[in-house]
Structure 1
Amino acid sequence: MNAGAPPAASRRLNLSVQYACNKDGLPSREQVRRWARATLDAVDAQRGGQVTVRFVEPAEGQELNRDYRGKDYATNVLSFPYDTEPVVMGDLIVCAAVVAREAVAQGKPLEHHHAHLVVHGMLHLQGFDHEDDDEAEAMEALETDILASLGYPDPYAAEKDSPAPRVHD
């Protein structure tokens, strides 16, 4: 064992991936694990996690968004953090149909958009937010760096080239 390496237990990622919708076009468990681990490592390489990522149909996404956020529509990703110490604990809900629709509208490969939203949700589980412009810029920069380390392009490139203000759900 490396002298500087964290104990395996503190870095362990217990990840459950649930498919409560048609799996066609959805990322594999291995892909989700890679994206989640990269996000944990980018924030704190010694942090582990206990995370569930659940891919859902729009009806379930809408119900959860309505019940927990007061917004009566299905959104792309919902984050439910439970704890951040000593490990990150929480659930991510990804509405597959919304993600697919957004990927088409944004002209992005579906895999890229899924990677982005898992990274985005994992950052929320670690306490990051985008409630104001400074928080949004910091979170977007971190997302861009993490995705670049995974071989994905900047998900905000089109927004950065546009004079329109950024809009976050």
Structure 2
Amino acid sequence: MTQGPVRLDVAVGYAVPRAGVPAAASFRKWAAAALAGRIREADLAIRLVGTREGRALNRHYRGRDYATNVLSFPAELPEGLPKDVRLPLLGDLVLCAPVVAREAKEQGKPLNAHYAHLTVHGCLHLLGWDHEDAREAEAMEQLEREILATLGLPDPYLDA
């Protein structure tokens, strides 16, 4: 684990109306909580999209023809740089606002808490965490619970 504060630069872009969607400061706070103690510095972009763009990205990058709640795109080193070079660029997160809103309503969760969870979840993916098998999933979910608790948010997996 890395010690000290994270030098974090989070660009938040809205490709959807901002009404009902959290402010950029909230996304920055959630990303900072996810990355604290895990990385020294990070630059990442978070983009809020509608269903059409979310579906197109999911289809193109994952081969799944539907809009999903969050997509994570880890940054890759530019070609030609040595593998040991560390750039602060962490990657991009794409959150599909209509899907997040629908899920929060269906699951009876506060909208901001669901956005916080998905931001934390996406940031952990950018750091290399995954949930391909039951052991990985439990470890990642436990870490998400711990991070969200530092933000005063409930366990997102209760009654999920």
Q: TM-score, normalised by structure 2?
A: 0.89
The equivalent residue for 1:51 is: 44
Q: Is the 8 A contact 1:58 1:97 kept in 2?
A: yes
Unaligned runs of 5+ in 2: 78-85
Q: Is the 8 A contact 1:77 1:92 kept in 2?
A: yes
Unaligned runs of 5+ in 1: 160-169
Structure 1 residues 83, 39: CA separation in 2 closer, same or farther (over 3 Å shift)? farther
Per-residue CA distance 1:5-42 (angstroms, 9 max, x = gap): 65x7xx31111000000111111111111000111115
In the aligned structure 2, how far is the partner of 1:129 from the partner of 1:27? 25
Code of the residue aligned with 2:30 in structure 1: it is: W
Higher helix share: 1
Code of the residue aligned with 1:67 in structure 2: it is: H
Q: Are 1:157 and 2:144 matched, yes or no?
A: no
Which structure 2 residues correspond to residues 50-89 of structure 1 after superposition, within 5 A?
Answer: 50-83=43-76, 85=86, 87=88, 89=90
The equivalent residue for 1:164 is: none
Structure 1 residues 88, 151: CA separation in 2 closer, same or farther (over 3 Å shift)? farther
The equivalent residue for 1:165 is: none
In the aligned structure 2, how far is the partner of 1:158 from the partner of 1:88? 35
Of 14, 22, 31 in structure 2, the residue corresponding to residue 19 of structure 1 is 14
In the aligned structure 1, how far is the partner of 2:89 from the partner of 2:155? 25
Code of the residue aligned with 1:119 in structure 2: it is: V
In the aligned structure 1, how far is the partner of 2:155 from the partner of 2:41? 26
Q: Which has the higher contact order (CA 8 A, sep 6+)?
A: 2
Q: How many residues align?
A: 151
In the aligned structure 2, how far is the partner of 1:103 from the partner of 1:134? 26
What is the root-mean-square deviation of aligned Cα atoms in Å?
1.8
The equivalent residue for 1:40 is: 35
Q: Which moved more, 1:76-85 or 1:108-117?
A: 76-85
Code of the residue aligned with 2:46 in structure 1: it is: V
The equivalent residue for 1:146 is: 147
In the aligned structure 2, how far is the partner of 1:83 from the partner of 1:157? 35
The equivalent residue for 1:109 is: 110
Per-residue CA distance 1:142-167 (angstroms, 9 max, x = gap): 000000000100000114xxxxxxxx
Code of the residue aligned with 1:136 in structure 2: it is: A
SS at match of 1:157: coil
The equivalent residue for 1:95 is: 96
In the aligned structure 1, how far is the partner of 2:87 from the partner of 2:141? 25
CA-CA distance at 1:87 after TM superposition: 3.3
SS at match of 2:57: helix
